[in-house]
Amino acid sequence: MLELPSSSRAATLLAQVRERRPRVHCLMNTVVQKFTADGITVVGGIPSMTSSIEEIESFVAKADALVVNLGTLDRARREVIRLAVDVANAAGKPWVLDPVHCDYSPSRLAFANELVALGPAIVRGNTAEMSLFEETGSPVRICTGPVDRLADDGRSVRIANGHRWMAAVTGTGCLTGGVIAAFMAVEPDTLVAAASALVVTGVSAELAAREAKGPGSFGVAFLDALSEVGAGDLLQHARIEDDQN
């Protein structure tokens, strides 16, 4: 019987991330590199961000998990992504694909499909992006939005946490990919890891919204909340639902 995610598992994994400090390498769009690196750091991981072709093999070799984000994609980054994925796959390191705006460009969609065939542990995108990929159970598919939906071969769950200001701050989805990668580094059950990460980001967003005046101050309060969120908050506020039926 496959395990379903829970608030207590999310709390345990958050504590493990904070204790073990996993390294997450991000091939990240240029718009949100700082916000994503900050998000990984405050949750307890250690981000690295280079897109240098000369350095990528060494950085991925040092990392515990990899994020491949397709925003602000250009020819050089396609090349570095291919190399990074080869290194991660050869070393058995988990990687998450965020196919940003693949619904805007046939060329980007074709590249996303090329990468899906290389075996990411997770593909995470918004509804428009995820609707373009076939409904295979593997890898874990995550469709985020007001409610996040996660599915693999045997499980399907919903996470109903978060706040509408997340959609008003550029990069919350990208940051979420980085946090998911940090959780994958400490938990081999990919769906449990990803659901736990989304509970942590979603509950943190709810706590942050209480302090914020609007999207601007929310972005700052969200980082504060990610650094402070604790087991009690997760046990009290997590909304994880079995979506099997």
Ligand X SMILES: Nc1ncnc2c1ncn2[C@@H]1O[C@H](COP(=O)(O)OP(=O)(O)O)[C@@H](O)[C@H]1O
Binding site for ligand X (CB under 6 A): 125-126, 144-146, 148, 162-164, 166-167, 172-173, 176, 198, 201-202
Selected binder of ligand TZP within 171, 178, 202, 219 (CB under 6 A): 171
Is there binding between residue 122 and Mg ion (CB under 5 A)? no
Decide which of Mg ion, ligand TZP, ligand X, none touches 32; Cβ closer than 5 to 8 Å per partner kind: ligand TZP
Work out whether 217 is an interface residue with ligand TZP (CB under 6 A).
Answer: no
The least distance separating ligand TZP from the CB of residue 165, rounded to whole angstroms, comes to 15
- The secondary structure of the chain as a DSSP string is -PPPP-HHHHHHHHHHHHHH--EEEEE--TTSHHHHHHHHHHHT-EEE----TTTHHHHHHH-SEEEEE-TT--HHHHHHHHHHHHHHHHHT--EEEE-TTTTT-HHHHHHHHHHHTT--SEEEEEHHHHTTS---SSSEEEEESSSEEEE-SS-EEEE----GGGGGSTTHHHHHHHHHHHHHTT-S-HHHHHHHHHHHHHHHHHHHHHH-SSHHHHHHHHHHHHHH--HHHHHHH--EEE---
Which of Mg ion, ligand X, ligand TZP, none does residue 71 bind (CB under 5 to 8 Å by kind)? ligand TZP
Among residue numbers 161 through 220, which ones bind Mg ion (CB under 5 A)? 173
C-beta of 174 vs 186, nearer to ligand TZP: 174
Backbone angles phi, psi at 69, to 5 degrees: -115, 130
Is residue 234 part of the contact set for ligand TZP (CB under 6 A)? no
Stretch that binds ligand TZP, among 68-76, 78-86, 120-128, 215-223 (CB under 6 A): 68-76
Q: Does 39 bind ligand TZP (CB under 6 A)?
A: no
Give the total of residues touching ligand TZP (CB under 6 A): 11
Q: Which residues sit at the interface with ligand TZP, rule CB under 6 A?
A: 29, 31-32, 71-73, 100-101, 170-171, 174
Q: Which residues sit at the interface with Mg ion, rule CB under 5 A?
A: 100, 173
